[in-house]
């Protein structure tokens, strides 16, 4: 299967213009890749998972004034959740990723963000700062599970930074970011918002500077499912990432240095 395969309506999954934008800007959006019914089922599944939690090593809700403590992101949900595994290894994602990476694809990580009302965002950063894929980089597939815009803390990207090296991050503002690392936009470049609808998928290069602002709403979540992927030619990756073929076979890679979880979190904020 390739990204120029057709969707159910007979249109290419990834258009030539979409591929060009990925190459030139570092990101591209495939609108409506997942159906609304699929997204609704996925969100209902994570609501059930959260209600039944915690699952040590994946997510542990706790009492706190911080909304993200009550609704922490779920790390590697595909290891504890069959619906998550199906999304991570979805054939439609695979078909796009194989063109973007130019080779067979390995899945390295999954995450689910609830981002409830009032939650902090994640300061601008680069994913490969954490994954440390060598050689090359990773590609993220960021699946929107709600209407996502500036009000509820949608993603922002800095086009063109995928062509640059990894930056040495500064310390982020803990009042607006749950993660410690912050990469200022390079001179002459700026972050631009990416509005999305449920089922849209944003694909972006692991060197692309991106992040999000806090969820400023009082009644809207900003849920998203994220997969990180690497090409089969990758020789090393951080120890936190456990690579699989898109058929689900475990393919261990040697460990690279300096890696960590995707976003080093600040110390927890205190309880009520």
The closest of 68, 59, 57, 60 to 178, measured between CA atoms, is: 68
Coil, strand or helix at 82: helix
Give the burial class of 176: count Cβ atoms within 10 A of its Cβ; 0-12 exposed, 13-18 middle, 19 or more buried.
Answer: middle
Residue 202 CB contacts under 8 Å (≥ 6 apart), including other chains: 27, 28, 29, 140, 141, 142, 144, 155, 194, 196
Give the DSSP per-residue string, 190-232. Answer: --EE--B-TT-EEEEETTSEEEE-----SS----EEEEEEEET
Across the strands, what pairs with 125?
210
Per-residue confidence (pLDDT) for residue 271, from 0 to 100: 44
Distance CA 232, CA 11 (A): 28
Across the strands, what pairs with 59?
55
pLDDT in single tens digits along all 272 residues of the chain: 444 565 555 456 999 999 999 999 999 999 999 999 999 999 999 999 999 989 999 999 998 889 999 999 999 999 999 999 999 999 999 999 999 999 999 999 999 999 999 999 999 999 999 999 999 999 999 999 999 999 999 999 999 999 999 999 999 999 999 999 999 999 999 999 999 999 999 999 999 999 999 999 999 999 999 999 999 999 999 999 999 999 999 999 999 988 766 656 766 654 43
C-beta separation of 121 from 177 below 8 A = yes
Distance CA 206, CA 97 (A): 13
Entry pTM: 0.93
Coil, strand or helix at 245: strand
Paired tokens of 4 = 């120029």
Per-residue confidence (pLDDT) for residue 258, from 0 to 100: 81
Q: Which domains does the chain have, with CATH numbers?
A: 16-245 (2.60.120.620)
Distance CA 96, CA 153 (A): 26
Per-residue confidence (pLDDT) for residue 257, from 0 to 100: 87
Distance CA 236, CA 253 (A): 5
Q: At what angle do helices 91-101 and 16-25 cross, to 10 degrees?
A: 60
């Amino acid at each position: 299967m390739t990204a120029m395969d057709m969707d159910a309506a007979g249109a290419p999954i990834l258009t030539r213009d979409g591929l060009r934008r990925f190459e030139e800007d570092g990101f591209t959006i495939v609108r409506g890749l997942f159906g609304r019914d699929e997204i609704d089922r996925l969100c209902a599944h994570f609501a059930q998972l959260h209600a039944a939690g915690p699952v040590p090593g994946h997510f542990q809700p706790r009492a706190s004034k911080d909304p993200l403590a009550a609704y922490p992101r779920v790390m590697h949900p595909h290891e504890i959740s069959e619906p998550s595994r199906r999304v991570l290894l979805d054939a439609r994602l695979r078909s796009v990723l194989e063109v973007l990476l130019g080779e067979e694809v390995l899945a390295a990580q999954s995450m689910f963000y609830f981002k409830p009302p009032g939650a902090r965002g994640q300061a601008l950063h680069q994913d490969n700062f954490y994954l440390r894929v060598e050689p090359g980089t990773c590609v993220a597939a960021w699946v929107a599970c709600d209407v996502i815009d500036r009000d509820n803390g949608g993603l922002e990207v800095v086009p063109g930074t995928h062509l640059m090296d990894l930056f040495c991050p500064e310390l982020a503002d803990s009042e607006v970011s749950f993660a410690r690392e912050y990469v200022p936009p390079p001179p002459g470049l700026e972050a631009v918002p990416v509005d999305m609808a449920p089922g849209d998928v944003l694909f972006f290069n692991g060197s692309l500077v991106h992040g999000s602002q806090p969820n400023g709403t009082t009644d809207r979540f900003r849920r998203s499912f994220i997969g990180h992927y690497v090409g089969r030619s990758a020789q090393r990756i951080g120890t936190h990432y456990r690579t699989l073929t898109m058929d689900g076979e475990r393919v261990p890679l040697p460990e690279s240095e300096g890696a960590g979880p995707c976003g080093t979190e600040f110390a927890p904020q205190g309880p009520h």
